[in-house]
Amino acid sequence: MKRRRFFRFLLAFVLLPTAFAALMATAKAFGMALKRPTGNVPFLIGFFTYPLFQWIFFRPLRVYIFGHELTHALAAWFSGLRVRRFSVSKTKGHVLLTGSNTFIALAPYCIPLYALFLIVLFFVMQWFTQLNSYGPYLHALVGFALAFHFFLTGDILWSKKQSDLSQAGGVFFSLMIIILSNCLVLGLALKLFFPHSFFLKSYGMEWWTGTLSFWKGCYALVQRN
């Protein structure tokens, strides 16, 4: 067990420059979407409406906790495990499973369940009928749901110690996986809503070049000494 945790710590250390590169590439891509919103303005409106909603009104914590625990349960179901108990209150939630793994423990921090549900709903509805008049509203809701996921996930990680992270192999390792996963999620969302101005290939190359530059710098530093 200690050997596994040590290996995951080393893996997290290796992933650290990639996580930093991913954050920089994602910030740059989102900034470009704001400068040239040639794709989906309703998505951006929805995305920036959520932090205003939380600031003016309240944090919908019970809704977040329900989605958090439900994502644990769904991840367990996809992993072939069973859910024995499921409970949610205003401030906390709990799901009792027949087992766990890294995917189950970190799934709620990496998968924006409500946004994913809305995207699936959109494509299912579009299969049966034209959504030209309702599409912008649904796009705005997806943006709102994504921001809801990012802001409240960051909030609970910052304000409260999460046992899920320790169970997944340590806080450091878990944070690297969460950062990379959420950058990828936002990258895919930008590709979906800004298909003509956002390119996944160049986005991925920025991850690669940022990581490579870091390790080249480390190698050059070692060579000098």
Cα 197 to the center of its chain, rounded Å: 21
pLDDT in tens, 13-40: 999 999 999 999 999 988 888 877 566 7
- Are the beta carbons of 198 and 33 closer than 8 angstroms? yes
Q: How far apart are CA 208 and CA 179, in angstroms?
A: 16
Helix boundaries (H) for the chain = 2-35, 41-56, 61-78, 102-110, 113-128, 135-159, 163-167, 171-193, 200-224
pLDDT in tens, 147-205: 999 999 999 998 878 888 988 888 999 999 999 999 999 999 988 888 888 888 999 99
Residue 101, both tokens: 């793994």
CA-based nearest residue to 131, from 144, 143, 119, 116: 119
